[in-house]
């Protein structure tokens, strides 16, 4: 099971985007990725990013503003995240290398 909040990088002059991912029971059919534009430059100041995870829903927040709500349905079966998980925070420089 996995829940992610990922910054997608930025092109100067474009809005910053964040991507949320939800995977349950190894499934990539339910939840998947959704991208959202941020209303600020996240590199200018500190911000709060959080995930509320209950047995019936997952809500992603940015500065206490919900940006994605994912509700469990019967049709998902075991594809809703329910297993214990760990928390990781990383910086991954995915910029292309020199030509």
Which residues are marked as active site? 2, 6
Going from the C-alpha of 24 to that of each of 5, 49, 58, 72, 85, the distances in angstroms are 15, 21, 12, 11, 11
Q: CA 76, CA 25: separation in Å to the nearest integer?
A: 10
């Amino acid at each position: 099971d996995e829940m992610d909040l990922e910054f997608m990088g930025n092109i100067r002059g474009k809005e910053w985007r964040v991507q949320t991912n939800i995977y349950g029971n190894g499934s990539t059919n339910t939840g998947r990725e959704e991208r959202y534009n941020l209303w600020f430059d996240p590199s200018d100041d500190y911000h709060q990013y959080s995930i509320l995870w209950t047995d019936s829903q997952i809500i992603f927040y940015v500065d206490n503003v919900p940006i994605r709500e994912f509700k469990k349905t019967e049709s998902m079966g075991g594809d809703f995240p329910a297993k214990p998980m760990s928390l990781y925070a990383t910086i991954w420089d995915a910029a292309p290398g020199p030509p």
